[in-house]
Amino acid sequence: MALNFLANQDQPSRSGRTLDMIDPALGIAFDTIPQSDASDIDEAVSAAQACWTGSWQKTSAAERGRLLMAWSRAVHAHVDELAALEQKDCGKPTKQALADANALVRYLEFYAGAADKLMGETIPYQNGYSVLTWREPHGVTGHIVPWNYPMQIFGRCVGGALAAGNVCVVKPAEDACLSLLRVAQLGREVGLPAGALNIVCGLGHEVGDALVRHPGIEHISFTGSPTVGTLIQQVAAQRHCPVTLELGGKSPQIVFADADLDAAIPVVVNAIVQNAGQTCSAGSRLLIERSIYEPLLARLATVFSGLRAGAPAMDLDLGPLIRASQLERVQAFLKQAEADGIATVATGKVVAEAPVTGYFQAPVLLRDVPLQHRLAQEEVFGPVLSAMPFDDEAQAVEQANATQFGLVAGIWTRDGSRQFRMAKQVRSGQVFINNYGAGGGVELPFGGVKSSGHGREKGFEALYGFTTLKTVAFHHG
């Protein structure tokens, strides 16, 4: 039975209620987590406030950095154990689970190094004045983490928040908590003070909602669906609590006729297959210049036909989707595509050895998807790639920008001037030229425009979101 992590104690929910954890590869329950409620959030926020006013506010930036570095090393020493937990929880193939555990190591390491490098400015002002800006932590921060990359998303938000001097209350996804609870224990072992990090498990509309409503929470970072992001923003607005929202995307991979296709193809495929397509920055739309549309689709068909989904321990191209409802959702998209006459170019396989009760979905490549179709507009969150042709640069830009989202874009061309023109015109938070970073890049500021959200996580930029700027003007004559 997994337990909440409050003030460095492992404890059940106050009500004693639990939720089953389902193994997505088998479709059966294997553990339970606490089904917490608002009273558990109250306790977590009180513990965080006590830590904040007690010791954490007085902990120097250098000391916070040392703690984060020690935590990073402890996580590094346990990557296999943590990867195994996340693999069981989320159904990730071994290489993906290990990559995620190692990304957490890097996040903690990066923010350990950044902790004592967050500086304000001096501002030239009138004669007789000196003006300084200080970057001050918010205090008690709330973090709502989804199930697709628990360790990575925890690393980027909690690592940044603690480095900047905040304390944290985390609500992990009900589908995937186990790795984070173990990571918290490792933090306790290296000396994270009681209350600096608290993890409260439970349902989004109960415990997540209670976290967002709590008057003691002074900043919220949320990664998840646009629908819940909108709700959170509305609730937080009532008490003017700042929020950082990362709400996914429908990210385009734009391939021009002069691109190095040998380099592009494996990256384009991986960007939709990684984590079974359950990646906010998945490259889920493929825009191809018409003159290479057919030959590129033919080459991709060969690759897609060879892709295999199976049990996580088999370490194939993809594991199961997270839960039955996610599989139903992806299949509903595919049924609609079929009903609307959208052609399938190629489909991978679910291997025969995959447990029949697991939530497996073979990768699918669709072609000529109309720009306004759901498959070209909505986040499927599964291994489904929608291809469409474009005639020129202007149309590529128009198609790239024609969704409500704007998270990441990939541009494949050897023409240097076009690389710049496209990067400037595509509306998204990140643009990758002749590469693509679905989920990668601890150092790279990450976040969206439009319905993909606002605020930036990852990199040094995240620290600005986890702090508030105070301007101090001295009149000294």
The residues assigned a catalytic role are 246, 280
Using alpha carbons only, how large is the chain's radius of gyration in Å?
A: 23
CA distances from 441 to 32, 97, 143, 282 (A): 33, 16, 20, 14
246 binds ligand NAD (CB under 6 A): yes
List the beta bridge partners of residue 406.
Answer: none
| Complete DSSP assignment for 20-45 | EEEETTTTEEEEEEE---HHHHHHHH
What single-letter amino acid sits at 425?
Q
The residue from 142, 193, 204, 406 that contacts ligand NAD (CB under 6 A) is 204
Q: Which of residues 447-476 bind ligand NAD (CB under 6 A)?
A: none
| CB 417 to ligand NAD: min, Å | 33
Q: What is the DSSP letter of 320?
A: -
Applying CB under 6 A, the span of 86-94, 241-249, 294-302, 307-315 interacting with ligand NAD comes to: 241-249
Binding to ligand NAD by CB under 6 A, coded x per residue (else -) over 166-185, reads -----x-xx-----------
Least CB distance to ligand NAD at residue 378 (A): 8
When asked if residue 375 is in the footprint of ligand NAD (CB under 6 A), the reply is no
> Is residue 90 within the footprint of ligand NAD (CB under 6 A)?
no
Which residues from 287-346 bind ligand NAD, rule CB under 6 A?
none
CA-based nearest residue to 229, from 277, 275, 280, 181: 280
381 interacts with ligand NAD by CB under 6 A = yes
How far is CA 312 from each of CA 239, 244, 353, 416, rounded to the nearest angstrom?
43, 32, 12, 41
**CA dihedral of 282, 209, 243, 472, whole degrees rounded to 10:** -150
Query: With respect to ligand NAD, which residue has the nearer C-beta, 175 or 289?
Result: 175
Ordered alpha helix ranges (H), 133-260: 150-163, 178-189, 209-213, 226-237
Rule CB under 6 A: say whether 247 interacts with ligand NAD.
yes
Residue number with CB closer to ligand NAD (232 or 422) = 232
- Reduced to 3 states, what is the DSSP secondary structure of residue 477? coil
Task: Indicate whether 376 belongs to the interface with ligand NAD (CB under 6 A).
Answer: no
Q: Of 443, 457, 143, whose CA–CA distance to 280 is shortest?
A: 457
If binding means CB under 6 A, how many residues of this protein chain bind ligand NAD? 25
Work out the angle at residue 291's Cα, subtended by the Cα atoms of residues 289 and 294, and round it to the nearest 5 degrees.
90
115 or 199: whose CB is closer to ligand NAD?
199
Q: Which is nearer to ligand NAD, 413 or 430 (CB)?
A: 430
By DSSP bridging, strand 243-246 and strand 219-223 are: parallel
Binding segment toward ligand NAD, per CB under 6 A, in 192-200, 206-214, 261-269, 398-406: 206-214
Which one of residues 46, 225, 357, 419 is an interface residue with ligand NAD (CB under 6 A)?
225
Length of the chain, please? Answer: 477
- Decide whether 140 or 212 has the Cβ nearer to ligand NAD: 212
Question: Per rule CB under 6 A, is residue 224 in the interface with ligand NAD?
Answer: yes
Q: Candidates 132-140, 144-152, 357-365, 439-447: pick the segment binding ligand NAD (CB under 6 A).
A: 144-152
Q: Name the residues that contact ligand NAD, by CB under 6 A.
A: 144-148, 171, 173-174, 204-205, 208-209, 212, 223-225, 228, 231-232, 246-248, 280, 379, 381
